[in-house]
Structure 1
């Protein structure tokens, strides 16, 4: 009964201050709720999740499959802004991040596309033993409840390969009822095929190359978004050993009498009524607050670059310089065309094309590969200096060389083009999948309510501009190729008279909201923040489980991979029991 009271109404300050749990999870988003579900499946294990957001299960801005963007700049969105991006026309860039049960899975674009297998294998190449495609693929399937397409959806382009999917997991994945009828998918497919890109019947088996009609995180029968709360929390919310507490975590509390690695005894948080309260963890504190919040909470707790901690009057508990560094995101540019037939744009158009360097550069590939390879020492130096030498040149060189090899030797997909609808226009949304630029996320105050400084440093490596422009030019070629050509009239953004050039790329892009790397999983000698068990170096019982641990960018989209990482992380935790 005690726990049910907490679930329904949150306990008073006095009650919360004396509560101990085996696991305290900071963040009730994609990864946090996945881990909470799995750990609390053992009835003798108690789990508390602290989440600043609320239950939004009846908020149409969240639940609507056609409602992408409706939750942006509302109370369900953290509404971050980047610092001025000095290599990108000095503009500030919006960052939307979910502030709700389910986190960003409650406001994202619903895309379910897994990574290319070589991208996951690259994690192990960087020194993360055991993190590869063969170990992660079962967890992709474990998290998934794939819904077989209906005949009408198949006619609209839906397809799948049965062995790639799971059918009994928590996350509903499939095709929405809002897919358009008619021949649009076929016309887009034929156009890409005319340009040399074959149809991929299912991008979720480790190969995303080519054109595909991708599935989404939707509950088709209920016609609602299938976010992490609906998948992992609502079905088990009556467990008496699992509680959800509303609050903003201020810092991790450390046990003061530990002589070796730091031992967390709990967290301090601010409740909605403004009172500062504490929860205690008998076993572990798990950070799942996302790639912006997780590094900030580590810094607020005295874990990070000593210079930044000292500047903000925070006692140094664990000097770990890479906290908040290695921030990577993908710059996204959009091209819009007026459709000749308005009803072509009805419904959701989940059409993705994944492109290799060979596709983009053709006979010039070898020359470009050699030129960019020769530039990597300079790029590593530039990035290291931008981090005030917090990330070493050798570490960055190792990362960039592997990324270069994936792009130019392994020929993994390195760019993505969405053929889609934006309001009344047909559109191409285009981005490089693995930009070489890297930035940071750091606190600027000891006040946890102040947002951290978010600086992805878009285009600090100028090659990323060249690459993004090449992808945009391919999108333009798509709309100039039959049969897509007859579907559109004049280009409306940028207007027909505007040249697609470097200035346009830098001035009109937006963030892809795929930020990774700010609590990077790497060997400590390479500047890592967490090891292969996702435990923070220098601690005995603090782990990070969210996008901040991903060591590099991926093809596909983050959501599916984050569910898989969290599923595997839960097993790693339970293996320590």
Structure 2
């Protein structure tokens, strides 16, 4: 199939008005107008946390034609928009890619589910809504690695530009941006006590983890407005869908990029069994995430040459770093049974209380249905040697075998800890040249002695929280991993057996100038033209916190760089 041609069918279903208008015009001409040669100035692959930002910013100039391709569907599922609805959208193949890792030796051979959003808004439509930027030292480290323009002072304006902060604007926060950031709309005795326990342990109370200092304990803020999720689809994409120069195609499975010499010239994809090819006279931007972006590159012949040759994929550009440097936060979820029915488990188990929860949400947009994945956050240091916090607690006033599944039938809460800056790195590899086949995910968790030591130290700190004067009266017993697990060796083995991802994969198309780098500091793919990567995969090192807000920042900054480079 030549650039500009299609297989004869027109798109149907999951379209916004601009897409339908394009097809109506195409019908009169006997060809798909949207896919005329060199039709687009920008093609964005992936309508997730980064892709929706890019679609908004790059289409602001009506003279620029923008195509946004998304493998998932529209964000019509009502559970997407109810904050606690991630229980319904994770592990749901209509909204989740439902990735699963390879057996990992660091987890005693276990495989983990790795949810990733497959819907407009991507993971910002199914995540836990927690708004955390990381530490300023994270971005200064990126700059120290040679990435000019990525220090904390450089990126702070983009965090502020993205934000519509409920508390108002100040030196660290902005108002009027597309992304709503709001306070937790529910408080609980259990959560208040956990914050008091932190203070008892010498950790300060903190009401803003994204200001001058991160270290401390307090309630999370959420990417929500008036008790409803504010995904990037809601905040960035839907308000500009009326733009005639922006076309959104859902259910578009990208198969490969097409090159004209060293220049990315088109995107080949399938939609409902039909093949299409969209040409680009400007730039193609991969925003498919830490799993999807390296997969598309490798399917297109860009990646480790030997790996591509094993799969009989013609090598367009031997770029060894594609798929490498995979990093993630591994959480150890310790569960404590309570003496009183003060957890969400009790509300969900009681039909009357469950009905009241729904009624409160419908009437007031408040109550338990407005919860994010966790309510209380603690950033703490496991030792005096740590210059900044090296672990993060997520306190959940509920318990389940794993996130996204049904709650336990007894009163309990979860104290989850994760190491903020793991040294262990893994990789993404192709299983086959077929774009429909999920890639092989090798996380390589707990591979270094430091990662093991910090993980064990975090587990011990969870127990210190439980033993404080303010928390101990509430706790009946430790259920997971259990009081019989005492030695460091046993704690580490328990971590290998019970830990889960905290859904923060990054780094697989890392930014830098070293041999393992995939993109430069302007996020252009090394050695090629007309191609960038803009998503969490470009992080050279994982940030010390949740990754959605930093991904949105990356896209905000990238949009300015793309537009500036286009102006020359």
Q: TM-score, normalised by structure 2?
A: 0.85
In structure 2, the CA distance between the partners of 1:298 and 1:83, relative to structure 1 (3 Å rule), is same
Which digits, 9 at most, give the CA deviation of each residue in 1:247-267, with x for residues without a partner? 010011101xx4xxx111110
Q: Give the structure 2 partner of residue 62 of structure 1.
A: 80
CA distance in 2, matches of 1:197, 1:274: 56
CA distance in 2, matches of 1:6, 1:139: 28
Q: Contact 2:17 / 2:241 at 8 angstroms: preserved in 1?
A: no
Q: Give the structure 2 partner of residue 115 of structure 1.
A: 134
For structure 2, the 5+ residue unaligned runs are 1-10, 348-367, 399-406
Structural mapping, 1:126-145, within 5 Å: 126-145=145-164
Mapped pair 1:205 → 2:194: no
Post-superposition offset of 1:487:
2.0
| CA root-mean-square deviation | 2.0
Q: Give the structure 1 partner of residue 505 of structure 2.
A: 515
Q: Give the structure 2 partner of residue 88 of structure 1.
A: 107
Which digits, 9 at most, give the CA deviation of each residue in 1:235-276, with x for residues without a partner? 111000111012010011101xx4xxx1111100011x2111
Structural mapping, 1:160-239, within 5 Å: 162-177=170-185, 179-180=186-187, 183-220=189-226, 223-239=227-243
Mapped pair 1:442 → 2:392: no
Structural mapping, 1:353-502, within 5 Å: 353-356=378-381, 360-362=382-384, 365=385, 408=386, 411-422=387-398, 423=407, 424-499=411-486, 501-502=491-492
Post-superposition offset of 1:466:
2.1
CA distance in 2, matches of 1:361, 1:138: 32
Of residues 552, 557, 565, the one that matches 1:568 is 557
Mapped pair 1:243 → 2:247: yes
Post-superposition offset of 1:141:
0.7
Post-superposition offset of 1:180:
2.4
CA distance in 2, matches of 1:453, 1:206: 40
CA distance in 2, matches of 1:208, 1:145: 20
CA distance in 1, matches of 2:67, 2:35: 13
Q: Give the structure 1 partner of residue 546 of structure 2.
A: 557
Q: Contact 1:116 / 1:206 at 8 angstroms: preserved in 2?
A: no
In structure 2, the CA distance between the partners of 1:550 and 1:116, relative to structure 1 (3 Å rule), is same
CA distance in 1, matches of 2:255, 2:18: 21
Q: TM-score, normalised by structure 1?
A: 0.84
Q: Contact 2:299 / 2:435 at 8 angstroms: preserved in 1?
A: yes
Post-superposition offset of 1:184:
4.2
CA distance in 2, matches of 1:289, 1:344: 37
CA distance in 2, matches of 1:10, 1:208: 48
Query: Tell me, what secondary structure is at the counterpart of 2:222?
Result: coil
In structure 2, the CA distance between the partners of 1:361 and 1:161, relative to structure 1 (3 Å rule), is farther
Q: Give the structure 2 partner of residue 35 of structure 1.
A: 54
Post-superposition offset of 1:71:
0.8
Q: Give the structure 2 partner of residue 393 of structure 1.
A: none
CA distance in 2, matches of 1:49, 1:76: 18
CA distance in 2, matches of 1:77, 1:285: 24
Query: Tell me, what secondary structure is at the counterpart of 1:447?
Result: coil
Deviates more, 1:119-128 or 1:460-469: 460-469
Post-superposition offset of 1:201:
2.7
Mapped pair 1:270 → 2:283: no
Post-superposition offset of 1:189:
2.1
CA distance in 1, matches of 2:313, 2:22: 30
Deviates more, 1:160-169 or 1:333-342: 160-169
Post-superposition offset of 1:4:
6.3
CA distance in 1, matches of 2:522, 2:459: 39
Q: How many pairs were matched up?
A: 504
For structure 1, the 5+ residue unaligned runs are 149-159, 366-407
CA distance in 1, matches of 2:434, 2:290: 19
CA distance in 2, matches of 1:208, 1:136: 17
